[in-house]
Amino acid sequence: MDIELILLCIGLICIILSFFIGKSTRKSEEDIENVSISLHQETNQLKKRLRAVEEELMIGVAPPVTNGQKQQRKQKPVHEIIINQILSLKAQGYSIPEIAKRSSLSDEEVIDVLKSRGVAL
């Protein structure tokens, strides 16, 4: 009989404690959910920024330049990824204008890159 009474008391204590412990776990669950949501949002923002940087590297969009401005403007260095793309397209048999169009560079820039890498035109 004593064991039954002890087990009953332990059970009641556990039930009473579960009400108090349940509130703290709900709070921690909400905190974890909030952290998860903020992490997801930050990850999406980083992905968007990364896409923008990748597009800038691949496209290299510059404002239209007249012939007089071409001589005055300093040429930006071409990124290594674009150089590899130019070499690959040349190896595949594309012409200079086609390569220039695909790499968003001028014909002269493509020729300069190919000459700097020792590729025969």
Q: Tens digits of per-residue pLDDT, 70-91? A: 444 456 788 888 889 999 999 9
Domain-wise residue ranges, the chain: 27-59, 67-116
State the pLDDT at residue 13.
92
Least Cα distance to 71 among 96, 106, 115 occurs for 106
Alpha carbons 99 and 25: distance in angstroms, whole number: 61
Q: What is the mean pLDDT of residues 105-119?
A: 89
Strands (E), the chain: none
Is residue 98 very low, low, confident or very high in pLDDT (cuts 50, 70, 90)? very high
Full-prediction pTM beyond 0.75?
Answer: no
Alpha carbons 119 and 22: distance in angstroms, whole number: 72
Which CATH fold topology does 67-116 show? Arc Repressor Mutant, subunit A (1.10.10)
Written as one letter, the residue type at 79 is H
